[in-house]
Structure 1
Amino acid sequence: MTRCTGGEQRNDRLGWDEYLANPEQLNACYDHVPELSGVRLRSVNVNWRGPQITLRIDLPRFPDHVSEEWRAEQVDTFQCHITFLAAEDIALTDWRPPATVDIALVPKELRRVRVSVSGPGVDLRFSCSDSLLVGHVSAFKIAPDGADNGRHLFARRIDARLYSELPATHERRFYAE
């Protein structure tokens, strides 16, 4: 069950979403998936398996298409995980959250990209496969202090059954997949 209602299939695929192996959820929510500039970076998970890096972010604008449930709940912020596979050359030289960042992907040889996550308080750089995954898509009403605690409405049925809010950071099923 996807909570976004879906727009038209796009042919003008430009930007970071062209690297997604599973763009269906974002394409169902947005006419044009927003660029990764001015995103709120919530967490960084480095997993030795893969190895992979997962960023939990709030996209800079709310979806164009949402379900009646999301509308009724008056959620105003859209969050997801982006997982970067086969990560290497990882350098985290500044980490002072909360942070609003720009995420840039520069294509390299051999189906690799160089990723830069930067903004006041954050400087993360690494290389990875040019095949990214998006997951744990949710919407929530942001707190006055910018916090994302409280009720989350998840787009995927399995996430919605397992979670009604963000799990503790040690929950591997949520943060390390």
Structure 2
Amino acid sequence: MGWLDLVTNPQGLREIFGAETPPLVGVGLHGVEIDREGPTLRLRLDLPTYPSNPPVKWRRNGYNVVQVELLLGGVSDISIRGVSVNMLVDVDIKSDGRLALKISSPTLNMIAMATSVTVSKIDAYLDGGRDLWPVKDSGGGN
């Protein structure tokens, strides 16, 4: 079971990425917000891959990064160690009745327990530091 199978509303990302579930390794972490209502934990993440067939609006505007906002509900425990201004992290979401979130990098470690995870926002933008269109292997090489 992949991380997208644990999301309550995976349809939007599945429409955009098709059968290619975006990995949560080498993710750009832009923000973490904790709210007492719920309580909730909101994560704003730049996915490391771009869809092979993006929406027309994204293609027309030359976007090359997909940003998602994940909202964890029913948060019962959070532990955060470290911080940095440029955080590339690995995100792991598992479930055994409760959701366990683990975020790790050389500068940040975060663990949280929750009851649900929802995609609350999907957006795209142009990051000048990335290639405009990801190069796909044509299958002719090793």
Asked if TM exceeds 0.5, the reply is yes
**Partner in structure 2 of residue 64 of structure 1:** 52
* Unaligned 5+ runs, structure 1: 1-13, 147-177
Matched residue type, 1:80: V
TM (normalized to structure 2)? 0.84
Q: After TM superposition, list the pairs within 5 Å mapping 1:109-120 onto structure 2.
A: 111-120=97-106
CA contact (8 A) 1:97 1:121 kept: no
Gaps of 5+ in 2: 131-142
| Structural RMSD (CA) | 1.5
- Residue 119 of structure 2, aligned match among 125, 134, 149: 134
* C-alpha distance in 2 between matches for 1:126 and 1:97: 21
Secondary structure, counterpart of 1:134 in structure 2: strand
Moved segments of 4+, more than 6 Å: none
Aligned-residue sequence identity (percent) comes to: 25
Aligned length: 129
TM normalised by structure 1 equals 0.68
CA distance in 2, matches of 1:17, 1:69: 24
Give the structure 2 partner of residue 149 of structure 1: none
Match of 2:24 among 36, 52, 55: 36
Does the 8 Å contact 2:16/2:55 carry over to 1? Answer: no
1:24 maps to which of 5, 11, 32: 11
Q: Which amino acid aligns with 1:112?
A: R
SS in 2 for 1:37: coil
2:68, 2:121 within 8 Å by CA — same for their partners in 1?
yes
